[in-house]
Amino acid sequence: MKEAFKNRTKKFAVDIWRLCEKLPKSREYNAYCNQLIRSSSSVGANYRAACRGKSMADFINKLKIVEEEADESMYFLELLMEINDKLYKEMKALHSEVNGILSIIVASIKTSKNRQSQIKNRK
């Protein structure tokens, strides 16, 4: 599951890069594309870092960063969907993908917090 999710987040970042490559080149588009590329690639990079967490608390904190970066990716996709209707279908599919990633991360954070709480209660 861990490796599959690493691959999924990497594919998401590559797909975002490919989307941005198709968008017009202008100061305005470049500003949004740069942010989208940064946040989408941070999703996978920070998930990989979370997998190497030194403790449950470290793992949870790094997953929270993944959550923030996924949400930021959704935001910039939403802006671009309002601005450019030519690639709307592709952007909508990427928005759905990052929403799915975000749902998994939020569930993982909740599960991890519950485990952390159970471990503390046993002590």
pLDDT of 7-53, one tens digit each? 999 999 999 999 999 999 999 999 999 999 999 999 999 999 999 99
For 104-109, the CB contacts below 8 A with 24+ separation are 104/5, 105/47, 105/63, 105/66, 105/67, 105/70, 106/67, 108/63, 109/60, 109/63, 109/64, 109/67
Q: Which domains does the chain have, with CATH numbers?
A: 2-122 (1.20.1440.60)
Residues 6 or more apart from 62 whose CB is under 8 A from it? Answer: 46, 47, 49, 50, 53
Which tokens sit at 52?
């190497």
pTM value > 0.85: yes
Q: Is the dihedral of CA 95, 44, 100, 118 positive or negative?
A: negative
